[in-house]
């Protein structure tokens, strides 16, 4: 992106003043190198979002922003229904409520090392991953609707997980306002065999070591200590979410065409929040959120079963479960006044600061854990929401590294087997059914997640707490 087109506010904040139909400015949080590396399409998309009706304060791009669909990936935007605000299926994405959950194991790397191969094999055998994989749970239509209404709470009531998990999941494990009856039979059919599956692409289950601690007090509250081992799971709402996204994007695009609404990009198709299509999407999308919460709850349970066999002394506690593809109603102060806004986060993580009423008691003084996934070879980060993050971007932070190379180019550059061998030499055991998938996900195909996290920290979006490096990685 051409820096000359931006107003530099600070080393980590860049503005684009409203022009040509923009209702609000666009704001990019990133350092000069990250902004310079961003695709020109990010400029186009972040300014297009600023042109949508009812947008409040600004259209934001996080430090990991890249070319998405209508919205940039790494985009955040708030809409006020009272001001004609809209809801956008593209602003949530196909993988509704894709997110990360991190579980503490209470084990150390030393304890893991002796059984690492067995652990990798057992997790790979237990957690279905990759194209065409199926879960062991089949839901009849009634159970499917109950799952879509109840999310992780539904999973818990069916024996997956522990009651204490719920307060460590956004929305207490169940997104209110879900309308399972607005999820099409096709979307439900697509989910029929996919409960408790990881998916493919950049989704993973990793056993990770805490390799660095930046904020000792918060890390202690989060249960993270140097050399400690955690498990992180990155996945979403599987086929059901993809189908909801597909169908409502179409509905919104056709409705916009019919009503003569001129959109700068058809992918920005959206509907007024207070319209029949908007309300239908909201109900279906919330059901999609519950599907993702249930899915990660089930995979968390499968993970616990594996650890119970190999490490009977271990007790896996949930640190947190946070999504990065959502639209949620949140109360935020705008010009000093609290307003209920529809916050779209497309490839951006919610980052509530200290004192937020939605946080469980134990975490409230320290801020919400913000879980940032990296590539197989680099590592992931745990951050915490800051007091300043609400004013920055409605309490939002980055979500991951972002690709720097296309899948096609990655396939031409690496061989899956070689990637697995190279990582094994570094002590990282990769298990995947797909050599091609591993090559496409090679660590070198991703940007430097550390730079993205440092920029989020420096911009005040969230503060760094700990770094996690992979020991075992189950890929789709």
- State the catalytic residues: 399
CB 31 within 8 A of CB 451: yes
* Distance in Å, CB of 28 to another protein, minimum: 16
**Nearest CA among 277, 242, 196, 195 for reference residue 96:** 242
Residues that bind another protein (CB under 8 A): 39, 41, 66-70, 73, 90, 93-95, 130-132, 134, 186, 189-190, 192-193, 199-202, 239, 242-243, 245-246, 249-250, 253-254, 257, 265-267, 269, 402-403, 406-409, 411, 433-437, 439-440, 476
Max Cα–Cα distance, the chain, nearest Å = 65
* Distance in Å, CB of 249 to another protein, minimum: 7
198 SS3 class: coil
Q: How many Cβ atoms from other residues are within 10 Å of residue 224's Cβ?
A: 23
CB 87 within 8 A of CB 327: yes
Helices (H) and strands (E) counted in the chain, each on its own, are 14, 19
* Distance in Å, CB of 331 to another protein, minimum: 31
Please state, in angstroms and as integers, the Cα–Cα distance from residue 472 to each residue in 70, 118, 121, 417, following that order: 35, 11, 10, 16
Cβ nearer to another protein, comparing 364 with 436: 436
Cβ nearer to another protein, comparing 136 with 250: 250
Cβ nearer to another protein, comparing 369 with 476: 476
CB 75 within 8 A of CB 60: yes
* Inter-axis angle of helices 276-310 and 116-126, nearest 10: 140
* Distance in Å, CB of 436 to another protein, minimum: 4
E strand spans, 160-307: 204-213, 228-235, 270-272
* Distance in Å, CB of 39 to another protein, minimum: 6
Cβ nearer to another protein, comparing 212 with 435: 435
Cβ nearer to another protein, comparing 230 with 410: 410
Spatial distance between the Cα atoms of 57 and 27, rounded to a whole number of angstroms: 10
């Amino acid at each position: 992106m051409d820096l000359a087109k931006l107003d530099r506010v600070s080393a980590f904040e860049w503005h684009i003043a409203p022009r040509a139909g923009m209702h609000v400015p666009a704001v990019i949080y990133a350092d000069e190198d990250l902004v310079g590396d961003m695709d020109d399409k990010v400029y186009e998309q972040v300014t297009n979002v600023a042109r949508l009706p009812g947008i409040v304060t600004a259209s934001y791009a996080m430090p990991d922003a890249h070319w998405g669909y209508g919205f940039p990936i790494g985009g955040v935007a708030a809409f006020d229904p009272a001001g004609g605000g809209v809801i956008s299926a593209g602003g949530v994405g196909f993988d509704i409520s894709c997110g990360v959950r991190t579980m503490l194991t209470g084990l150390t790397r030393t304890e893991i090392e002796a059984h690492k191969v067995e652990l990798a094999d057992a997790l790979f055998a237990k957690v279905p991953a990759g194209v065409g994989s199926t879960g062991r749970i089949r839901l009849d239509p009634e159970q499917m609707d109950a799952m879509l209404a109840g999310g992780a709470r539904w999973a818990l009531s069916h024996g997956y997980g522990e009651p204490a998990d719920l307060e460590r999941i956004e929305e207490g494990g169940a997104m209110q306002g879900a309308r399972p009856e607005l999820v099409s039979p096709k979307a439900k059919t697509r989910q029929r065999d996919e409960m408790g599956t990881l998916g493919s692409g950049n989704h993973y289950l990793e056993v990770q070591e805490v390799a660095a601690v930046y904020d000792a007090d918060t890390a202690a509250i989060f249960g993270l200590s140097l050399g400690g081992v955690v498990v992180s799971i990155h996945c979403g709402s599987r086929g059901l979410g993809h189908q909801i996204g597909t169908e409502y994007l179409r509905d919104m695009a056709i409705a916009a065409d019919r009503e003569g609404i001129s959109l700068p990009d058809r992918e920005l198709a959206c509907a007024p929040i207070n319209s029949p299509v908007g309300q239908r999407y909201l109900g279906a999308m919330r059901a999609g959120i519950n599907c993702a919460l249930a899915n990660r709850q089930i995979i968390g349970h499968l993970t616990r079963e594996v650890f119970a066999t190999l490490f009977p002394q271990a007790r896996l506690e949930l640190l947190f479960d946070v999504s990065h593809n959502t639209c949620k109603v949140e109360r935020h102060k705008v010009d000093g006044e609290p307003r209920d806004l529809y916050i779209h986060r497309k490839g951006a993580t919610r980052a509530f600061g200290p004192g937020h009423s939605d946080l469980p008691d134990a975490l409230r003084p320290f801020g919400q854990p913000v879980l940032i996934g990296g590539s197989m070879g680099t590592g992931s980060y745990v951050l915490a929401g800051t007091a300043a993050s609400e004013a920055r971007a409605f309490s939002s932070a980055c979500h991951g590294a972002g690709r720097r190379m296309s899948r096609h180019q990655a396939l031409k550059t690496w061989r899956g087997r070689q990637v697995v061998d190279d990582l094994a030499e570094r002590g990282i055991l990769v298990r995947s059914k797909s050599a091609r998938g591993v090559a496409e996900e090679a660590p070198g195909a991703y940007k430097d997640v550390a730079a993205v996290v440092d920029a989020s920290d420096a911009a005040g979006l969230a503060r760094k707490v700990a770094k996690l490096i992979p020991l075992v990685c189950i890929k789709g």
